[in-house]
Homo-oligomer: A and B are copies of this chain.
């Protein structure tokens, strides 16, 4: 079971590493970070670099595709090499997935038309522009398409997908090993829960959701 995780300049690190940390622990999983070119790719803040070990051209039939988001997603919308690759691998994938604004890339590839999907809360409106039906849910399954909300939601998506792929017992086993028993010290992780003025500030000022 090959799991291809896409990288591009200015991706958001946790979007990629959250699902990686879960899915890479499944029996038979072979994960590969892929990008247009191999080598290190810098994240949104520039302080972190993850290595792409194979090119898009080298990975032709992954079983699972994971597309992260981040500010770097915007220029990728016009990257025909990536968009064409997404369409091509989707033709044979078992699961096509995204975290955060990665769903906008799936949308740009025409893969979410008429499908329920999600994205970072600041990008839900844009998602509708690709014919998807945006939901405010954290993890959305529609057929083989699985989209997750902002950044940290990829861990929840990874576990939900792990259950579908390998069964509840294996998914619980991974959850126990990564000790995923979240206890956030605040309850501000969604626009419904955060202080209204913070939400309004982001809506007004953020043109590049992360």
Contact = CB atoms under 8 A, between A and B. Distances in A.
A126 interface: no
A160 interface: yes
Nearest to A47: B31
- In the complex, the count of this chain's copies comes to 2
A179 B120 contact: yes
Interface in A18-48: 18, 20-21, 24-25, 30-33, 40, 45, 47-48
A156 interface: yes
Interface stretch (A59-67, A76-84, A85-93, A164-172): A164-172
Interface string A182-207: 11111011110111001100100000
A141 to B, nearest CB: 11
A182 B179 contact: no
B169 A198 contact: yes
A177 B13 contact: no
A198 to B, nearest CB: 5
Contact of A186 (B120, B149, B171, B177): B171
Contacts of A24: 45, 47-48
Nearest to A178: B151
Nearest to A138: B183
A58 interface: no
B173 A150 contact: no
- State the 8 A-B residue pairs at the shortest beta-carbon distance, nearest first: A150-B179, A181-B189, A182-B182, A172-B188, A49-B51, A151-B178, A14-B21, A31-B47
25 contacts: A14-B178, A24-B47, A40-B40, A40-B51, A48-B51, A50-B51, A121-B179, A138-B181, A139-B185, A149-B179, A151-B179, A152-B178, A152-B181, A152-B182, A153-B181, A163-B186, A172-B188, A173-B198, A176-B188, A176-B194, A177-B202, A177-B210, A179-B189, A180-B184, A182-B184
